């Protein structure tokens, strides 16, 4: 009979005292080697992790980016520790600035101009939202750059069913869209504004706040030499406001729906005249006017006045700078080692 094969080398052999190799009593040094890692794990769990969690919470509290507001709201600012103001806004105003998708620089300027007025003025009691309005995006770069604006600012309305032509029905689409978008939380007034107008919000709100909240039509009368907002006259397209009930009427009326092509401010006046709407009218001239030209072409243009509500036809940055300089718009700029502006 052939001899039995040797047992596999990996099997444990009995020791002299009947135990298996590797499972016998541990020496003192072996015990220390086993206990030391366990003690180390316990120390980490009890002392290191809690501190790490505290550090993470601190970092989340102090380093988290601020939330971006979706609109600019005229609300009085409070000092730290001061209880919230109990007074509700006197009224709610939506300002829709009709512009073009490609006018990125102009939107940047307007955001600064309106945000500074809304956040640095404690006397404003109206709720004001500013939105930039244009028709559908049709360029590849617009479809990337405009969404970036929306992510950061949340103040863009893109209309559907209109072409980028102010006299081709865009204003009608704006009013009818707004009546649907905000039907659950309506505004008291909706203002259509151009992107070349500077609105002085405190003066605008003070003036508009004296108007009735219904059947209202507010602006600067055209023709330029007229102060009568009734009859065949209408409000200049630089900026005019309708009360919410009139906005809803525009959205549902065949009078407006069938008359969308033509000079948009004149068409709006025609809607209201034919529909018997806008009985409460207010002409804000001469506080609303065109930029002062060296040789005025009409009476819509005149010199700056202290009680200005709006300056129109600011077609370029020098005109904007001239206007903002007159109203001392940068008065709040503090001296700093980081800049020197003569």
The pLDDT tens digits of the residues spanning 154-175 come to 999 999 878 888 788 899 999 9
Mean pLDDT over each residue of the chain, to the nearest integer: 81
Q: Over range 84-91, report the average pLDDT.
A: 68
Q: Which H or E run includes 63?
A: helix 49-63
pLDDT given at position 124: 82
Of 109-123, 187-201, 223-237, the range with the highest mean pLDDT is 187-201
pLDDT given at position 59: 37
Cβ neighbors of 72 (< 8 A, separation 6 or more) are 114, 115, 118, 119, 128, 129, 130, 155
> Per-residue confidence at 284, pLDDT binned at 50, 70, 90?
very high
pLDDT given at position 29: 59
- Look-up of token digits 């769990």: 45
First to last CA, the chain: 113
CA-based nearest residue to 195, from 131, 116, 142: 131
Say how far apart CA 79 and CA 120 lie, in whole Å.
13
pLDDT given at position 27: 60
pLDDT in tens, 46-86: 554 444 444 343 333 333 333 333 344 433 333 344 444 44
pLDDT given at position 87: 58
> Where do the domains of the chain lie, and which CATH numbers do they carry?
91-286 (3.90.550.50)
- Percentage of the chain modeled with pLDDT above 90: 61
pLDDT given at position 297: 82
More confident residue, 231 or 138: 138
**Tokens representing 313?**
């036809």
> Per-residue confidence at 332, pLDDT binned at 50, 70, 90?
confident
Q: Over range 299-326, report the average pLDDT.
A: 96
pLDDT given at position 81: 43
Contact call for residues 271 and 255 (beta carbons, < 8 A): yes
pLDDT given at position 294: 86
pLDDT given at position 68: 33
Q: What is the SS3 assignment for 319-340?
A: HHHHHHHHCCCCCCCCCECCEC
CA-based nearest residue to 281, from 323, 225, 333, 221: 221
In the sheet that 280-283 helps form, which strands lie side by side, from edge to edge? 156-159, 127-135, 92-98, 189-194, 239-243, 216-219, 280-283
pLDDT in tens, 5-44: 444 444 334 444 444 444 455 565 555 565 666 666 665 5
pLDDT greater than 80 at residue 188: yes
The pTM of the full predicted model, rounded to 2 decimals, is: 0.75
């Amino acid at each position: 009979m052939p001899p039995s094969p040797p047992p596999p080398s990996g099997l444990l052999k009995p020791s002299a005292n009947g135990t298996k190799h590797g499972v016998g009593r541990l020496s003192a040094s072996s015990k220390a080697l086993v206990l030391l890692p366990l003690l180390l794990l316990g120390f980490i769990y009890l002392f290191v992790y809690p501190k790490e969690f505290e550090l993470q919470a601190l970092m989340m509290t102090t380093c988290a980016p601020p939330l971006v507001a979706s609109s600019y709201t005229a609300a009085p600012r409070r000092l730290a520790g001061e209880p919230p103001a109990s007074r509700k806004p006197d009224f709610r105003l939506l300002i829709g600035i009709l512009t073009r998708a490609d006018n990125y620089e102009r939107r940047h300027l307007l955001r600064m101009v309106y945000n500074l007025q809304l956040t640095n003025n404690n006397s404003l009691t109206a709720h004001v939202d500013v939105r930039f309005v244009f028709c559908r995006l049709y360029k590849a770069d617009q479809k990337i750059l405009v969404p970036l604006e929306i992510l950061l600012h949340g103040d863009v309305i893109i209309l559907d069913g209109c072409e980028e032509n102010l006299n081709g029905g865009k204003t009608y689409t704006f009013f009818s869209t707004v009546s649907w978008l905000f039907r659950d939380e309506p505004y008291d007034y909706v203002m259509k504004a151009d992107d070349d107008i500077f609105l002085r919000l405190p003066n605008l709100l003070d003036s508009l706040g004296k108007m009735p909240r219904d059947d209202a039509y507010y602006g600067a009368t055209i023709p330029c030499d007229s102060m009568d907002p009734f009859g065949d006259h209408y409000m200049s397209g630089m900026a005019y406001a309708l009360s919410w009930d009139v906005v809803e009427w525009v959205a549902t009326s065949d009078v407006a729906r069938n008359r969308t092509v033509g000079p948009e401010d004149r068409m709006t006046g025609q809607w209201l005249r034919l529909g018997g709407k806008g009985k409460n009218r207010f002409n804000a001239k001469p506080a609303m006017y065109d930029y002062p030209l060296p040789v005025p072409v009409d009476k819509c243009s005149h010199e700056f006045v202290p009680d200005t509500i709006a300056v129109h036809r600011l077609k370029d940055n020098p005109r904007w700078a001239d206007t903002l300089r007159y109203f001392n718009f940068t008065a709040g700029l503090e001296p700093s080692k980081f800049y020197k502006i003569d």
